[in-house]
Structure 1
Amino acid sequence: MGLIWGLILGAIAGLLASKLMSEESGMIKNILLGIGGGFVGGLVFKILGFTATGMIGSLIVSTVGACICIWAGRKLFT
């Protein structure tokens, strides 16, 4: 059940990030952005000394991380 919730949370985080960053993307890309964003956001928050708990905290961390991934992708590929 944790995997399903992780995918749902990743999809929501990727969708939020794509809307915040005006990125046109499909559902699969949103899920991948959210999952990758969770990893990136977790690293950034840990370096800055912040912690996030619960589903809302995970959503915020994943969304911030996905926004960072979108921003980095734009800088690298355009």
Structure 2
Amino acid sequence: MSVVFLIIIGAAAGFLATRFMKVETDLITTVVIGIGGALIGGFLLRGILSVLGLLSGLVGAVLGAMALIWLWQTYGPKK
């Protein structure tokens, strides 16, 4: 991502955030708030998604193990 694009997105994010929070700031402060928020939000979102990714891996592993148990009980050696 280019620096210019980051500044534009940061300015937009900062503008929206300052309006939602009803804070009046100058342009530089708005851009800095937006870029800082993007960094913090991106870091937190990446962490949350990695945890959810691990949990989805666990769910997939359990479902796969259950499928193998069902196959083994259905087609495996009979007692």
Task: Tell whether the structures are fold-level matches, with TM greater than 0.5.
Answer: yes
Aligned mates of 1:20, 1:12 — CA distance in 2: 12
- Indicate the residue corresponding to 2:22 in structure 1: 22
Alignment pair present for 1:4 and 2:10: no
Q: Which runs of 5+ in 2 are unaligned?
A: 51-79
Q: Secondary structure at the match of 2:35?
A: helix
Percentage of pairs with the same residue:
34
Structure 1 ranges of 4+ moved more than 4 A = none
Alignment pair present for 1:42 and 2:42: yes
Structure showing greater radius of gyration is: 2
- Indicate the residue corresponding to 2:63 in structure 1: none
Letter in 2 for 1:26: D
Cα deviation, residue 47, structure 1: 2.2
Q: Which runs of 5+ in 1 are unaligned?
A: 51-78
Q: TM-score, normalised by structure 2?
A: 0.57
- Indicate the residue corresponding to 1:70 in structure 2: none
Aligned mates of 2:25, 2:43 — CA distance in 1: 24
- Indicate the residue corresponding to 1:55 in structure 2: none
Cα deviation, residue 21, structure 1: 0.8
> RMSD value over aligned CA atoms?
1.7
